[in-house]
Structure 1
């Protein structure tokens, strides 16, 4: 297989971005321009990757390099690849550190994939980390063992299957433990899930006990430790201990 040919041009109008490409980070462009202005121009060695469509060059990778080159009125170095849709581009980027989770989410939201729109709304409302939110919505569990949910998310294969369960679980956790900054911790949510499944706890009692003894609860690093604390709170001032799990 022949190596890709690097082409050079100053016809900037030939280039365009793809719907769903990341929004330009002005600071990144400015930093690139500053480096180039100081004599550190590595752009000829890092060509923009494009594919050709309708006589246009669609930028797959290198938006910021292209923008810096254009603003400095320098030649654009680019190589052509086969035509890719946005899902393939996102999948390609999932193999590297180039895209953050927010980039993938924005990409699929802009494509109009409803599951990702739902995820965005869920993240905005509950401020739970990506991996826990994705596991909750895909599997109904904030820490699904052996799941490949993050890979599915990056590849555009994320599906919302447990929205009602996830919403109910997070709302219950917030109702009881909302006073704490760690109330959106995936392990605390997991402990509440197991508490709910056990079917022994009176949640109104637990809520009142949290108010009576707020200092017992603290952030923990796993579900087991949270379960131990919750049981302590539930049995605060009880004469007879109740086992919740």
Structure 2
């Protein structure tokens, strides 16, 4: 396949399937400045709407453009959908990468997930399974179903989580605490503001937990301590 070159950056359009990694950009810039091997590693483009769309090598294109260097590229015969399909099967993609990718594709469920990431500044990772039931295979294929009702429910969990980590006298395990809060918010009669006020007053009674049930037991004691009203059972009934 013929390798072409140009310094006419306006000819290109970037198909950003994953957010550009700033740390990678810095490392790449340093490497290119020290030794430019661009001719040996051309970017892949396809012709779309009269422009050259960069489908592989977005980081290299960005760095070379910033440095004012010639862009080495080759035109691939693969379709954009074939390239996207191959990329979404890449093993090193994170859940957050899939969220960004399918949101960009206009999939409503992933648009809502990206909105959650933006609002709470939290990338979906290993703790995602504690927020909602998830099939990794379906999630990676863009088939995950998430609606406005789910959005509201998860938002309440994350807001409570962020409020509590500001109060806790130690750094709690994110996954364990979120799992506990997911259950707490389903308990009939649970008063969120009352709960937070009791945690603030009795935070010395908290201790690190490795299981969500351990947090639930602590929360129940703190919530019901000197509570003249109806006692709440915050622990799961086994």
Pick the TM interval, shorter chain. Answer: 0.5 to 0.7
Tell me if structure 2 keeps the 8 A contact 1:187–1:221: yes
Aligned counterpart, 2:45: 50
Aligned counterpart, 1:222: 211
Q: Please state how far the C-alpha of 1:148 moved relative to its aligned partner.
A: 2.6
Aligned counterpart, 1:82: 78
The answer on 1:148 being equivalent to 2:130 is: no
- Structure 2 distance, partners of 1:163, 1:96, is 27
Q: Which structure 1 segments of 5+ residues have no match?
A: 136-140
Q: Please state how far the C-alpha of 1:94 moved relative to its aligned partner.
A: 5.1
Aligned counterpart, 1:167: 155
Q: Please state how far the C-alpha of 1:229 moved relative to its aligned partner.
A: 1.9
Give the counterpart of 2:4 among 8, 25, 29.
Answer: 8
Normalising by the residue count of structure 2, what TM-score does the alignment of the two structures yield?
0.67
Cα–Cα, structure 1 residues 242 and 103, in superposed 2: closer, same or farther, change >3 Å? closer
The answer on 1:191 being equivalent to 2:205 is: no
1:26-81 C-alpha deviation (Å, 9 max, x unpaired): 7755654543343x233333331222335543211112323444545436142514
Normalising by the residue count of structure 1, what TM-score does the alignment of the two structures yield?
0.65
- Structure 1 distance, partners of 2:161, 2:48, is 50
Tell me if structure 2 keeps the 8 A contact 1:174–1:184: no
Q: What is the correspondence of 1:6-155 to structure 2 with a 5 Å cutoff?
A: 6-10=2-6, 12=8, 15-21=11-17, 31-38=27-34, 40-54=35-49, 56-69=51-64, 71-74=67-70, 76-78=72-74, 80-85=76-81, 89=84, 92-93=87-88, 95-97=90-92, 103-131=97-125, 134-135=128-129, 141-142=130-131, 144=133, 147-149=134-136, 152-155=138-141
Cα–Cα, structure 1 residues 34 and 211, in superposed 2: closer, same or farther, change >3 Å? closer
- Structure 1 distance, partners of 2:165, 2:62, is 47
Q: Please state how far the C-alpha of 1:112 moved relative to its aligned partner.
A: 3.8
1:110-157 C-alpha deviation (Å, 9 max, x unpaired): 44443333223323333444137854xxxxx5264xx334x5455433
SS in 1 for 2:131: coil
